[in-house]
Amino acid sequence: MTFASLGLSEDIVRAVTERGYTEPTPIQLQAIPVVLAGNDLLAGAQTGTGKTAGFVLPILQRLSEKLVKGPSEGRPPIRTLILTPTRELAAQVEESVQHYGKYLKLNSMVMFGGVNINPQIQRLRSRVDILVATPGRLLDHVQQKTVDLSQIQILVLDEADRMLDMGFIRDIKRVMALIPKKRQTLLFSATFSNEIKTLAETLLNQPVTIEVARRNQTAELISQKAYAVDRARKRELLTHLIKENNWFQVLVFTRTKHAANHLAENLVKDGIPSMAIHGNKSQAARTRALKEFKGGSLQVLVATDIAARGIDISELPYVVNFELPNVAEDYVHRIGRTGRAGSVGEAVSLVCIDEDKLLTAIERLTKTQLDTIVLPGFEPDPSIKAEPILNGSQRGNAPRRDGHGGRSSGKPAGATGGARPAAKPAARAPALNRTGGRNR
């Protein structure tokens, strides 16, 4: 199947061919005809699947088929609105619009917060066919009456699940109230949670649902492994894996900012160039770290879910869950950073006894059983009992002078941990026995 046979114009096919795309990805194969036919779409697709071209290409086609001239006294209206959760994604999507639409007579604009609003107001005075925006800044413009959304024909919600995670639901509803009811709506989401289903029901009109990159299909693009390890030995194991396998461009996730800092510092002590990304680091500092990371001089970037959300990092060869996320959906977001269209990425989770419930929740959500590996020399100590994960942090991964997580109590196996409520240690057994420690 070629792009041309999907019904895309020569000008669009030429632009994608120049990008080096020889054939459509599965999400593109399914989404493009649906959008061209004018239907609403609910698509389960993650970053790395080619989802952006999946909606941008047919939108370009539809808009260029019906080029609108402005009235003699003014400019033509904005006809497509693409909402994204982050600035980086907005910039990335608009860049794609420019690339794929380079041979068309359509104009696009990106709009996000954190920068001066005046140049945006200025830009809105000239022709904009496709507006890519984050919800907050868009509403600022609405308030200032500098943007007119009354002629929108196509609305896209990209990474809708993240928008909900980031608390944009009210903003989305406010935007909805400003755009025509008669429109085409496309909703892209990595996961189909109940909230997403509810949102889809309110926003979409008899949508076609496609689930090319559904969570349980991530395995096709991403090899997922879990290492069973004691909480206090995770860093040692990570250093071992990085050095032994010569991993570069490793994105490591922790649950807390503190753990991210602590781990990055320790990896540096182990001779591995690493940096942590903080929520409170400036955009410039993040961009710089990211540039070094992408350029290859920074071997490891340690991030929390929140910090990683705001930055454009995808298509990485390795993603490591140093700590499993508290929310299973975050696992899907995290590992979605690896594996680009067509090539395999590796997602590695370091799982200690405290995290059995989290692992089970992830396996249930992704409908995948992770291969659990016990690396010789890193066998979990059976006398260590599960400890609760409080406020996202785990004792063993925070700095401890004894360097020993929960091991220092010296109590025999089976004894409970005194004041602390013990999570069920028994839950560990199946996770370890399933694959007999075999690597895939």
Residue ranges that bind ligand AMP, judged by CB under 6 A = 21, 24-25, 28, 47-53, 340-341
In angstroms, what is the minimal distance from the CB of 59 to ligand AMP? Answer: 13
> In whole angstroms, how close is the CB of 29 to ligand AMP at the nearest point?
9
At 79, list the tokens: 């006809």
Pick the closest to residue 60 from 20, 112, 14 (CA basis): 14
Q: In this complex, which beta carbon is closest to ligand AMP, that of residue 327 or of residue 341?
A: 341
Nearer to ligand AMP, 56 or 152 (CB): 56
Nearest 5°: phi and psi at 380? -60, 140
Of 174, 172, 177, give the one whose Cα is nearest residue 187.
172
Q: Which is nearer to ligand AMP, 95 or 265 (CB)?
A: 95
Measured from the CB atom, is 43 or 164 closer to ligand AMP? Answer: 43
Least spacing, CB of residue 277 vs ligand AMP, in Å: 20
Lay out the sheet containing 300-304: strands in order across: 274-277, 300-304, 250-254, 318-321, 345-351, 222-228, 371-373
129's tokens: 């066919």
Beta-carbon count within 10 A of 436 CB: 9
The CB-of-53 to ligand AMP minimum distance in angstroms stands at: 4
CA dihedral 307, 309, 315, 320 (to 10 degrees): 50
d(CA 270, CA 17): 44
Residue number, 27 or 432, with CB nearest to ligand AMP: 27
Q: Which is nearer to ligand AMP, 49 or 366 (CB)?
A: 49
Task: State the nearest-atom distance from the C-beta of 126 to ligand AMP, in Å.
Answer: 27
| Cα–Cα dist 137/61, whole Å | 27
From the CB of 27, what's the least distance to ligand AMP, in Å? 8
